[in-house]
């Protein structure tokens, strides 16, 4: 459905979403505000306002966000919300949910939200209600996962399948791997999961000797079914299966997840064993589609439905909550505040929950592939910084590694702490210690330690004046370093779904503010295209000069050829 175009912003001659952010009146107001904000002390702001925690926190879809440890005042939030309004966030949000083709460089709708929507109301794309197709595929996922989980779907020699190997890369890998690990505790006891993505054969070769071909199911997940890594690995896995179980085995041991039926059947997987999805699902937004099949197998179709319901609950919140009480919007605006006004170049994700270990890598793709752009929707330079470099690892591991830089390094790195309040564990003391570390790190980043405090501490330890002078600068912390804390009530499919949808919408809002297309990824194409020529040169099929014009690449090819 197409919505009428928004009226031009008074300050621009083009649509608001496409005009330069740096020319926006709300952006200018934030710049003036920031001139006074740079030196605010968060601790002082807490002292001045005993209700700061209460009014700088939000609940949505079962999640809790504490954003009080940020360098903001009420006025900051008001100005940031004005920016969101001016940039057309609400209008663009309506367009996304309505199935408008907001991915303009590919002329595609952006409807991962339809994958977790109930069957009504209809969501129309090109005159078709996509929820009908979505629910038909969900029914097939349910039937198939029930059969595999119950042992009714057997391999070619009559054995139940107990090992699932997902072959896919990028969006067809990071999501399913992350969610299967996050919900590991809910997984079917007799099923084990492996994820093969890399074109480096070391990955597949390390796995195949450890699994039994008679009990293995391969899922080839590829939206295009043309991705070099996936197709090469899928061919190798099929050859291995045929060698061990015979030529008919793929029919019982291979299924595909794709939008490309012709390529799937050409590969030799029957269309009955293919789970489709659609071009309006971006790869990095596809875990809700049949790309999530490993999760449905792991936790069952009811669990998968809960996962979708959690995301849908966050969608409902995102669509309806006022901007200042809207969790994805607030998270996005804080990110813009640090990226564009404090020049914070990176964002660290710190899940204090071991089973969320792949979340930073997942969010890295979501954020950096979506918003790592330098031109706006009209193809003009954005002129302001866009996505930060996103990175991180689980706590408490990071504390013993890079947290040094977070506390005392020269860069200010905003951190998102994410943890889980209830743990189903026989070791509650571990969980208490985990939470304590999570909460203490955000407190330490904010509070810091003055040199005077460091001196008092050192004196109390009995050090002499010379030692105190020498050590005090090393033992003090600047503090005033911002963070958010996101709490999940428990690690359930519902909470995980809500968490991922929270970040999806955060990235969307930031993309709208920057005026960029968050849903294409042309930047990955150039290297892929060059690799084909380089591969031919490495094989000796063409001269290196034909493959690449630069002396460095030619030199590397020559060395590799002589080494082989
Ligand atoms: C995601 C990207 C990219 C994609 C992979 C795999 O948004 O488009 O990561 O998912 O390149 O693509 P296929 O699923 O088509 O194999």
SS3 388: coil
Decide if 494 is catalytic: no
CB distance 227 to ligand 1 below 6 Å: yes
Residue 249 and residue 282 in contact, taking contact as beta carbons nearer than 8 Å: no
Residue 334 and residue 94 in contact, taking contact as beta carbons nearer than 8 Å: no
- Which residues on neighbouring strands pair with residue 487, listed in sequence order? 64, 419
Decide if 528 is catalytic: yes
CB distance 169 to ligand 1 below 6 Å: yes
Q: For a ligand 1 pocket test, name from 166, 226, 230, 283 the mutation site with the most ligand atoms within 8 angstroms of its C-beta.
A: 283
Q: Give the tokens for residue 551.
A: 């002396």
Q: 288 alpha carbon to ligand 1 midpoint, in Å?
A: 15
Residue 334 and residue 414 in contact, taking contact as beta carbons nearer than 8 Å: yes
Q: 27 alpha carbon to ligand 1 midpoint, in Å?
A: 34
CA–CA separation, 509 and 110 (whole Å): 14
H or E segment and range at residue 421: strand 415-422
> What number of helices (H) and strands (E) belong to the chain?
22, 13
- Catalytic residue selected from 54, 400, 474, 525: 400
Q: Give the tokens for residue 361.
A: 């890598």
CA–CA separation, 493 and 310 (whole Å): 7
CATH architecture of 21-100+321-447+481-514: 3-Layer(aba) Sandwich (3.40)
Q: What pLDDT, on a 0 to 100 scale, did the predictor assign at position 10?
A: 41
CB distance 455 to ligand 1 below 6 Å: no
- Catalytic residue selected from 86, 306, 369, 504: 369
DSSP states of 307-374 as a string? HHHHHHHHHHHHHHS-GGG-HHHHHHHHHHIIIIIS---EEEEEEESGGGTTHHHHHHHHHHHHH--S
Q: What pLDDT, on a 0 to 100 scale, did the predictor assign at position 420?
A: 98
Q: 228 alpha carbon to ligand 1 midpoint, in Å?
A: 11
DSSP states of 494-560 as a string? HHHHHHHHHHHHHHHHHHHHHT--TT--GGGHHHHHHHHHHHHHHTTSS-HHHH---HHHHHHHHHH
Q: 452 alpha carbon to ligand 1 midpoint, in Å?
A: 53
Cα R_g (the chain), whole angstroms? 26
Q: 279 alpha carbon to ligand 1 midpoint, in Å?
A: 12
CA–CA separation, 92 and 508 (whole Å): 9
CB distance 249 to ligand 1 below 6 Å: no
Bond into 121 cis (ω within 30): yes
CB distance 170 to ligand 1 below 6 Å: yes
Question: Which atom of ligand 1 is found nearest the CA of 229?
Answer: 16
H or E segment and range at residue 433: helix 428-447
CA–CA separation, 135 and 130 (whole Å): 9
CB distance 259 to ligand 1 below 6 Å: no
Work out the widest C-alpha separation in the chain, in whole angstroms: 81
CA–CA separation, 470 and 420 (whole Å): 41
Distances (CA, A) of 226 to 249, 261, 284, 354, 427: 23, 12, 17, 34, 46
The CATH 3.40.50.10490 portion of the chain extends over 21-100+321-447+481-514, 119-304
CA–CA separation, 40 and 46 (whole Å): 11
CA–CA separation, 12 and 26 (whole Å): 13
Residue with tokens 């070769």: 205
Distances (CA, A) of 29 to 36, 75, 197, 341: 12, 11, 46, 11
pLDDT digits (tens, 9 = 90+) for 14-30: 344 456 898 899 999 99
Q: 323 alpha carbon to ligand 1 midpoint, in Å?
A: 32
Domain 119-304 grouped into CATH 3.30.2130.30: no
Q: Is the pTM of this model over 0.85?
A: yes
Q: What pLDDT, on a 0 to 100 scale, did the predictor assign at position 124?
A: 95
DSSP states of 241-252 as a string? HHHHH-TTTHHH
Q: Give the tokens for residue 378.
A: 């009209």
Q: For a ligand 1 pocket test, name from 108, 172, 222, 282 the mutation site with the most ligand atoms within 8 angstroms of its C-beta.
A: 172
CA 17, chain centre distance (Å): 24
- Closest listed residue to residue 438, CA positions, set 415, 414, 413, 417: 417
CA–CA separation, 165 and 143 (whole Å): 19
Own/partner pairs, 134-139, CB within 8 angstroms, 24+ separation: 137/275, 137/276, 137/277, 137/289, 137/290, 138/301, 138/305
Decide if 135 is catalytic: no
Residue 376 and residue 515 in contact, taking contact as beta carbons nearer than 8 Å: yes
Q: 477 alpha carbon to ligand 1 midpoint, in Å?
A: 42
In which order are the strands placed within the sheet that holds 163-167? 192-196, 163-167, 216-221, 254-258, 274-276
Question: Which atom of ligand 1 is found nearest the CA of 168?
Answer: 16
- Catalytic residue selected from 55, 159, 422, 528: 528
**Residue 82: CA count within 13 A, CB half-sphere:** 13
Q: 223 alpha carbon to ligand 1 midpoint, in Å?
A: 7
* 524 class by beta-carbon count within 10 Å (0-12 exposed, 13-18 middle, 19+ buried): exposed
Q: Whose CA is nearest to atom 16 of ligand 1?
A: 222
CA–CA separation, 300 and 346 (whole Å): 37
Q: What share of the chain is helix, strand, coil (3-state, %, to 5)?
A: 55, 15, 30
Q: For a ligand 1 pocket test, name from 103, 110, 171, 372 the mutation site with the most ligand atoms within 8 angstroms of its C-beta.
A: 171
Q: What pLDDT, on a 0 to 100 scale, did the predictor assign at position 547?
A: 66
SS3 160: strand
Q: 63 alpha carbon to ligand 1 midpoint, in Å?
A: 29
Q: Give the tokens for residue 389.
A: 């470099």
CB distance 484 to ligand 1 below 6 Å: no
Burial 203-238 (b: 16+ CB within 10 A, else e): bbeebbeebebbbbbbbbbbbebebebbbebbebbb
**Angle at the Cα of 203 from the Cα atoms of 249 and 360, rounded to 5 degrees:** 115
List per-block mean pLDDT (blocks of 10 residues) for the chain, which spans 564 residues. 41 49 94 91 98 98 98 98 98 98 97 96 95 98 98 98 98 98 98 98 98 98 97 98 98 98 97 97 98 98 98 98 98 98 98 98 98 97 97 98 98 98 97 98 98 98 98 98 98 99 99 98 93 92 78 94 93
SS3 215: helix
CA–CA separation, 463 and 449 (whole Å): 18
CB distance 86 to ligand 1 below 6 Å: no
CB distance 183 to ligand 1 below 6 Å: no
């Amino acid at each position: 459905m197409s919505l009428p175009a928004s009226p031009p912003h008074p300050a621009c001659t083009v649509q608001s979403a496409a005009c330069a952010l740096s020319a926006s009146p709300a952006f200018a107001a934030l710049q003036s505000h920031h001139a006074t904000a740079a030196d605010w002390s968060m601790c002082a702001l807490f002292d001045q306002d005993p209700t700061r925690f209460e009014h700088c926190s939000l609940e949505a879809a079962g999640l809790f966000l504490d954003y009080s440890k940020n360098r903001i005042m009420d006025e900051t939030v008001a100005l940031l919300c004005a920016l969101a309004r001016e940039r057309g966030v609400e209008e663009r949000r309506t367009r996304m949910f309505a199935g408008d083709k907001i991915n303009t460089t590919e002329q595609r709708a952006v409807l991962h939200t339809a994958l977790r929507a109930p069957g009504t109301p209809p969501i129309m794309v090109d005159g078709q209600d996509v929820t009908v197709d979505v629910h038909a595929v969900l029914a097939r996922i349910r039937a198939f996962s029930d059969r595999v989980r119950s042992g009714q779907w057997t391999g070619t020699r009559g054995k139940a399948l107990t090992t699932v190997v997902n072959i896919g890369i990028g969006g067809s890998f990071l999501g399913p791997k992350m969610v299967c690990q996050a919900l590991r505790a809910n997984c079917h006891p007799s099923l084990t999961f492996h994820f093969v993505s890399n074109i480096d054969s070391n990955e597949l070769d390390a796995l195949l000797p450890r699994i039994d071909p008679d009990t293995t199911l391969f899922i080839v997940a590829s939206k295009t079914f043309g991705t070099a890594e996936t197709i090469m690995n899928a061919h190798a896995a099929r050859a291995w299966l045929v060698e061990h179980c015979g030529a008919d085995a793929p029919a019982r041991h291979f299924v595909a997840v794709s939008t490309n039926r012709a390529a799937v059947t050409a590969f030799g997987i029957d269309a009955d064993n293919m789970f489709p999805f659609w071009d309006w699902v971006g790869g990095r937004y596809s875990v809700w589609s049949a790309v999530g099949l490993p999760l449905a197998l792991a936790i069952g179709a009811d669990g998968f439905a809960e996962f979708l319901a959690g995301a849908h609950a966050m969608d409902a919140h995102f669509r309806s909550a006022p901007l200042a009480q809207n969790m994805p919007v607030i998270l996005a605006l804080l990110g813009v505040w640090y990226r564009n006004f404090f020049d914070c170049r990176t964002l660290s994700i710190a899940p204090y929950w071991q089973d969320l270990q792949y979340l930073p890598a997942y969010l890295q793709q979501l954020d950096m592939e979506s918003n790592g752009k330098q031109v706006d929707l009209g193809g003009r330079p954005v002129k302001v910084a866009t996505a930060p470099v996103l990175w991180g690892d689980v706590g408490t591991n990071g504390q013993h590694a890079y947290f040094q830089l977070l506390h005392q390094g020269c860069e200010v790195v905003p951190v998102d702490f994410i943890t889980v309040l209830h743990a189903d564990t026989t070791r509650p003391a571990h969980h208490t210690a985990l939470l304590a570390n999570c909460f203490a790190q955000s407190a330490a980043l904010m509070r810091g330690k003055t040199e005077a405090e460091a001196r008092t501490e050192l004196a109390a330890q009995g050090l002499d004046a010379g030692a105190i002078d020498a050590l005090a600068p090393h033992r003090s912390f600047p503090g005033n370093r911002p963070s958010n804390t996101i709490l999940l009530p428990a690690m359930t499919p519902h909470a995980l779904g809500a968490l991922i949808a929270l970040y999806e919408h955060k990235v969307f809002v930031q993309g709208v503010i920057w005026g960029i297309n968050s849903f294409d990824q042309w930047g990955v194409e150039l290297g892929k295209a060059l690799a084909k020529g380089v591969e031919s040169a490495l094989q000796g099929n063409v001269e290196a000069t034909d493959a690449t014009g630069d002396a460095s690449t030619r030199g590397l090819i020559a060395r590799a050829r002589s080494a082989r």
